């Protein structure tokens, strides 16, 4: 017999409902709270701060609880609506700039800066002179639309 009293091992490791570690502080009422809070224009991180949770914890809840993830998605859409309303009501340039900045971060797919450049040319490379090719390679600006200034020495190789 052992010199100390032995305890019978519990078979909790077989129980699928058993979890280790600290219990989650997630509450189902957070679903409505996050949607309402983000509808005021606040971010998900700000919501985490108001309920005194870490941002990473809130993101983990989105993975673990599909109802919370859905609520966050609805909250993000409501946040964009609030920020767009703020933009439309803005009276000063700084207010507009701040609202646009917030929208670019809240919904980058719809509020990103679009830059489109169309570049057409009708010059064939095999028709350019050595001087023109040298000028292009050296980055010198064109003196006029027809020619490119530049000097080039052609070296014969055997």
Reported as a single tens digit per residue, the pLDDT across 4-41 is: 655 555 555 555 555 666 788 999 999 999 999 999 99
The contacts of residue 109 (CB under 8 Å, 6+ apart) are none
pLDDT tens-digit series, residues 33-56:
999 999 999 999 999 999 999 999
Lowest mean pLDDT among 45-49, 70-74, 76-80, 136-140: 136-140
Give the predicted TM-score (pTM) of the model: 0.59
Q: Structure tokens of 66?
A: 């599909």
Task: Give all domains of the chain, ordered by start, each with its CATH number.
Answer: 26-111 (1.10.10.60), 121-158 (no CATH)
Total Cβ atoms within 10 A of residue 10: 9
Listed in sequence order, the DSSP H helices in the chain are 30-38, 44-50, 55-64, 66-89, 93-106, 108-111, 130-138
pLDDT tens-digit series, residues 95-147:
999 999 999 999 998 998 877 777 676 777 788 888 888 887 887 766 654 55
For the packed helices 66-89 and 55-64, what is the interaxial angle rounded to 10 degrees? 120
Q: Structure tokens of 147?
A: 């020619």
Q: Which residues of 122-156 are buried (b: 16+ CB within 10 A; e: fewer)?
A: eeeeeeeeeebebbeeeeeeeeeeeebebeeeeee
The contacts of residue 83 (CB under 8 Å, 6+ apart) are 41, 99, 102, 103, 106
| Structure confidence at residue 2 as a pLDDT band (50, 70, 90) | low
Q: Which residues of 35-44 are buried (b: 16+ CB within 10 A; e: fewer)?
A: bebbbebbbb
CA–CA gap between residue 131 and residue 6 (Å, rounded): 94
């Amino acid at each position: 017999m052992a010199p100390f009293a032995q305890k019978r091992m519990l078979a909790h490791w077989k129980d699928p409902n058993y979890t280790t570690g600290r219990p989650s502080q997630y509450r189902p009422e957070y679903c409505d709270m996050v949607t309402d809070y983000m509808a005021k224009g606040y971010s998900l991180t700000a919501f985490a701060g108001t309920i005194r949770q870490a941002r990473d914890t809130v993101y983990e809840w989105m993975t673990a609880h599909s109802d919370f993830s859905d609520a966050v998605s609805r909250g993000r859409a409501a946040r964009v609506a609030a920020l767009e309303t703020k933009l439309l009501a803005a009276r000063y340039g700084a207010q507009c700039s701040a609202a646009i900045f917030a929208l670019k971060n809240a919904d980058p797919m719809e509020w990103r800066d679009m830059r489109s450049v169309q570049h057409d040319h009708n010059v064939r490379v095999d028709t350019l002179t050595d001087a023109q090719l040298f000028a292009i390679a050296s980055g010198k600006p064109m003196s006029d639309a027809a020619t490119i200034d530049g000097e080039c020495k052609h070296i014969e190789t055997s």
